[in-house]
Amino acid sequence: MELKETERIVVAKPVASRPTLSNFKSFSEFFPSDTNGSPTSEPLITVIRPKTVRFKPVTSSPLDRVSSQAELPVTQACHSSDKILKSNHTSPLLYRPLAKTVSKATIRMLATLGTCNASNEYAVAQNAGSQQEIVKEINLPNVTPVKSGNDKRPQLYKNNIDRPSYDGYNWRKYGQKQVKGSEYPRSYYKCTHPNCLVKKKVERSLDGEIAEIVYKGDHNHVKPRLPRRHAFDGTCQDSNQQLPNNQINDTNEHLGSSSHLNDLVKVQESYNHVSNEAFNASIPKFDCSCGVARVQDGSSKVIMERVDDIPAIKRRKGLNQSNETFVGGLQVPQVVHDGPDSEAVSDGFRWRKYGQKVVRGNPYPRSYYKCTVVKCNVRKHVERAADNPNIFITTYEGKHNHEMPIKKAT
DNA sequence: AGCCTTTGACCAGCG
DNA sequence: TCGCTGGTCAAAGGC
């Protein structure tokens, strides 16, 4: 409340009565680089600048926050990764929800995965005394949002600022508060899955950077195939962070819980194996059109295939590769193909298309296929990624009860 | 139409 | 008992 009122006062303050230069000293102290500009270059902006000290997380390294969790058992593991994490420091944040199990290997993996985004720092902790999971995220100076001309959607969405960090689950915001002692407003989210009581609290700075996320409870359901909204509007930031998250979460869900760390590690490692190069290559330009290999057991099989080794020439004209709409390949929780639709469809089995539909959040129609083999009930649907028509997402339902037909010679 | 966010009000725990 | 605080509710409106 206090903060709110303070903000209100500041914002409402007429330009004519803006503070004298002496009042800005603190800013110049905190942001020495700002002093390069003329002191009168943007006085109005300075006057209404939110109170949030957005650069603070950078200086007070994530490690500080981690260390504040020293009582947590995983802290040790986190520390082991500190060096890795510390090395990357220059780009927007990152988010690793539900990384329940933390080992050195995991930390290494996550750190490696994070390189896609040039850098990210995070600390993961799990409170041993309760079911509460804590994922602290530290944001770094954010990438200035780029406004796209025609997009009517709030810029917030474009940059994933005003929605919960996409972690594969659907969340509904049910409250927001300015919490005392925190410089950021805290948002409260509930999992939208029926009967799922998982909640999370997210603290973001005014420019959308996530300062902290606290999860409460465990999901009692599998991750929805696609988020209901903004399915693929993730930025590189999101994409980068989501893939590992998805893997972590999905793996946890399918394998049980933290006791399956080894399996998780395997998955992660396989991911690293296929994608590290591309990740690294993508760093300078933030082009994260990279895919992933992932296999899950169960009645539904979800596989992701590496897709960004496709020659650039193959990429379609009009494919948005700007920093603003980084391809969500990493975010896609299903099989991802790059290339013509037929490629996505032909996976060795024979399929009969039985439907097509435009689904929410994706301008491209989704095609539905059934396996043509009698008594085989496997189905799949194929769709293009909303923000990258070159990426096909294929979701399988069921298991084939027969061998893969011999491929025709081409 | 359905789902989502926003936001002021309300509630419960605590000192 | 009161005030503070964090968490939740729910109406309104947006997408």
**Which domains does chain A show, CATH number per domain?**
171-216 (2.20.25.80), 336-397 (2.20.25.80)
pLDDT of amino acid A226: 56
Angle between the A236-255 and A104-114 helix axes, to the nearest 10 degrees?
Answer: 150
What mean pLDDT comes out for the span A277-284? 32
pLDDT band for A364, please (50, 70, 90 cuts): low
Strand partners, A176: A187
pLDDT band for A263, please (50, 70, 90 cuts): very low
Question: Is the Cβ atom of A164 within 7 Å of strand B at any atom?
Answer: yes
- Nearest-angstrom CA–CA distance, A68 and A301: 41
CB-contacted nucleotides of strand C (7 Å): 4-10, 15
- Nearest-angstrom CA–CA distance, A24 and A31: 10
What mean pLDDT comes out for the span A295-313? 31
Looking at chain A, the whole-number percentage of residues with pLDDT higher than 90 is: 0
Between residues A16 and A188, which one has the greater pLDDT?
A188
Q: How far: A237 CA to C6 C1' (Å)?
A: 30
pLDDT band for A357, please (50, 70, 90 cuts): low
pLDDT of amino acid A359: 60
Closest to A161 in 3D by CA, of A209, A199, A202: A209
What mean pLDDT comes out for the span A355-382? 68
Question: Is the Cβ atom of A192 within 7 Å of strand B at any atom?
Answer: yes
- Nearest-angstrom CA–CA distance, A199 and A195: 12
> Residue A177 carries which side chain, given as an amino acid letter?
K
> Residue A178 carries which side chain, given as an amino acid letter?
Q
Tell me: the pLDDT tens digits for A40-78?
333 333 333 333 233 333 333 333 333 333 333 333 333
* Length of chain A (residues): 410
Query: CA torsion, points A270, A198, A137, A110, in degrees to nearest 10?
Result: -10
What mean pLDDT comes out for the span A149-174? 51
Q: Per mean pLDDT, which range of A110-114, A214-218, A357-361 is the poorest?
A: A110-114
Strand order in the sheet with A133-138: A121-126, A133-138, A210-216, A199-204, A185-191, A171-178
Q: What are phi and psi of A174, to 5 degrees?
A: -120, 5
- Nearest-angstrom CA–CA distance, A369 and A380: 5
pLDDT band for A134, please (50, 70, 90 cuts): very low
In the predicted model, what is the mean pLDDT of chain A?
46
Between residues A348 and A141, which one has the greater pLDDT?
A348
Q: How far: A176 CA to B10 C1' (Å)?
A: 14
DSSP sequence for A102-128:
--HHHHHHHHHHHGGGS--EEEEEE-T
C1' nearest to CA of A1: which nucleotide?
Answer: C5
What mean pLDDT comes out for the span A305-328? 30
Query: Is the predicted pLDDT of residue A370 greater than 80, yes or no?
Result: no
Both tokens assigned to A131: 């079911």
Tell me: the pLDDT tens digits for A170-229?
888 888 888 887 777 888 888 888 778 888 888 876 556 667 788 888 888 877 765 454
Compute CA distances A185 → A51, A200, A201, whole Å.
11, 14, 10
> Residue A57 carries which side chain, given as an amino acid letter?
P
Q: How far: A50 CA to C8 C1' (Å)?
A: 27
∠ CA A174-A211-A163, nearest 5°, is 40
Residues with CB under 7 A from strand C: A 1, 153-154, 174-175, 177, 179-182, 186, 188, 199, 201
Q: What number of other Cβ atoms are within 10 A of residue A118's Cβ?
A: 22
Question: Is the Cβ atom of A204 within 7 Å of strand B at any atom?
Answer: no
Q: How far: A174 CA to C13 C1' (Å)?
A: 15
Between residues A176 and A330, which one has the greater pLDDT?
A176
Between residues A27 and A345, which one has the greater pLDDT?
A345
CB-contacted nucleotides of strand B (7 Å): 3-9
Between residues A356 and A199, which one has the greater pLDDT?
A199
pLDDT of amino acid A90: 33
- Nearest-angstrom CA–CA distance, A182 and A195: 31
Question: Is the Cβ atom of A176 within 7 Å of strand B at any atom?
Answer: yes
Quote the distance between the C-alpha of residue A221 and its chain's center.
20
Q: How far: A181 CA to B13 C1' (Å)?
A: 18
Q: Which pairing describes strands A210-216 and A335-338: parallel, antiparallel, or unpaired?
A: unpaired
pLDDT of amino acid A387: 60
C1' nearest to CA of A152: which nucleotide?
Answer: C15
Question: Is the Cβ atom of A162 within 7 Å of strand B at any atom?
Answer: yes
Query: Is the predicted pLDDT of residue A383 greater than 50, yes or no?
Result: yes
Question: Is the Cβ atom of A229 within 7 Å of strand B at any atom?
Answer: yes
pLDDT of amino acid A244: 35
